[in-house]
Amino acid sequence: MTVNVKELINRVPTGLLINNEWVDAKNNETYEVTNPATDEVLAELASAGEGDARAALDAACQAQADWARTSPRERADILRRAFELVHERGEEFAALMTLEMGKPLSEAQGEVTYGAEFLRWFSEETTRLYGRTATLPEGALRMVTRRKPVGPCLLITPWNFPLAMATRKVGPAVAAGCTMVLKPAKLTPLTAQYFAQTMLDAGLPEGVLNVVSGKSASAISTPLMADKRLRKVSFTGSTAVGRTLLKAAADNVLRTSMELGGNAPFIVFEDADIDQAVAGAMGAKMRNIGEACTAANRFLIHESVADEFTEKLVSAIKALKVGNGMEEGVTCGPLITSDAVENMEALVKDAVDHGGKVLVGGSRVDGAGNFFEPTVLRGMDRGARVFQEEIFGPLSPIFTFKTESEVVAAANDTEYGLASYVYTENSDRMWRLADSLEYGLMGYNAGVISNAAAPFGGVKQSGLGREGAAEGIEEYTSVQYIGVRDPYAGQ
Ligand code: NAD
């Protein structure tokens, strides 16, 4: 690790980005960003209020018309330069993510690759935004359709993937020709600030990307969501906040993209390769300390292989090294807040009250930072909170099943529908599961499936819309139909 942390933090802009200038908040308010591994304050940032949010939208609205007229190649080139710059600054981005969010450095480096890929992918998609033409059935009109930028967007991102959640929204918005106001999570704004500066360094014109972070999310989002000039909100975060934003969006008839919570089933059939399933489970569960919307939430294991799977999962979990993600060899960092640690304690207690046994872990780690031991639980009934709720931490609850129809019903017994995982060597069964699981994503003998070129998103209360892939750019466009009089009509 060659990055000098103090010097790096000093280079991260601390202001609000409005019209390509980093400025203080109008009321001079600030807030602190802390390191979840040490409880130390990393930086103090300007905290936006309503006036700042409006100034950011003013800038976005002013820039929108000219930005929409730029050529696809011009926008593609900016994204491509940004992709290259994020890689050049990869060590710095990785360090910032580990410092403010806690994930181990090697995983943060993985997020640099994953996050940058949205910039490369959408730089390529910029030049492939096609419409259609047809002679309409009656022959009187010829149809031309075009995809136009939807207009100024509000982008709200969570703390768990500080770079990738920003690039997954900013990339397609830039590609489509939209201007935007980005509101990063207050727990992890440093990566987003550094990314925004990187977008400016890549040549993004004035007012296209404005960034307002602050201690009160609703002080920023409420006035913007009610502003008639805003055209779209793209949100990644909890289902509870998503519902609030959808209600506000209804009043202003905004376009919405919602990437919300999950409660992923990880299903292992009796014919699965158990070693492969355990390796997949470690990725699906322990990536990001379990703080991922795609995290395996409920392990549903066929009763005939449950002992073998449990034994192998317990030994893989025992091999993890918990600690400060900046240290060599650490594979499991701290949770984001002390509240999250308390939630893990409450979930473990509830599982035990429902008949569960703690096979490994189960407790917080004393001392500085928000550490909780990676934990495996087994034997609780399906009334336990770990079956019903999104865990968002390093708990692996194991449940067993007897039949395919039983496990499908159990897997679908949730309001969520984001990621699901199926391990079986029987491809017919895989297709039956793909048909009957109510999930936007399914990993088949694979525990980590997110990719910039694949459409990511949920059904049911996990959200609306898709990010990444060809679908990702369409979320930032609206279709215009032009009806052209056919020159031979009526002849
Ligand atoms: P959160 O909903 O608390 O916050 C997400 C963002 O919304 C943050 O920027 C926050 O400041 C902002 N926010 C909070 N209250 C708001 C309000 N009233 N109005 C406007 N904005 C508000 O979620 P979180 O704790 O940051 O992230 C964890 C959640 O995000 C989990 O449920 C996880 O599943 C979900 N998530 C989903 C995806 C996905 O792609 N589906 C990806 C990552 C995380």
For 110-140, how does the pLDDT look when each residue is reduced to its tens digit (9 = 90+)? 999 999 999 999 999 999 999 999 999 999 9
Per-residue pLDDT tens digits for 466-491: 999 999 999 999 999 999 999 988 77
The whole-number pLDDT of residue 489 equals 84
Cross-strand bridge partners of residue 377? 358, 397
Is the Cβ atom of 185 under 6 angstroms away from ligand 1?
yes
Residue 182 CA to ligand 1 centre (angstroms): 13
- CB of 136 closer than 8 Å to CB of 358: no
Atom of ligand 1 nearest to the CA of 159: 26
Residue 238 CA to ligand 1 centre (angstroms): 4
**Separation between Cα atoms, residue 175 and residue 125, nearest integer Å:** 7
Is the Cβ atom of 169 under 6 angstroms away from ligand 1?
no
Is the Cβ atom of 244 under 6 angstroms away from ligand 1?
yes
Catalytic residue among 259, 373, 390, 467: 259
Residue 489 CA to ligand 1 centre (angstroms): 54
Residue 396 CA to ligand 1 centre (angstroms): 22
The whole-number pLDDT of residue 1 equals 64
Is the Cβ atom of 363 under 6 angstroms away from ligand 1?
no
Is the Cβ atom of 259 under 6 angstroms away from ligand 1?
yes
The whole-number pLDDT of residue 181 equals 99
Is the Cβ atom of 160 under 6 angstroms away from ligand 1?
yes
**Separation between Cα atoms, residue 60 and residue 64, nearest integer Å:** 6
The whole-number pLDDT of residue 61 equals 98
Is the Cβ atom of 241 under 6 angstroms away from ligand 1?
yes
Atom of ligand 1 nearest to the CA of 463: 41
The whole-number pLDDT of residue 311 equals 98
Residue 29 CA to ligand 1 centre (angstroms): 23
| Ranges of the chain with pLDDT below 70 | 1
Q: Is 125 a catalytic residue?
A: no
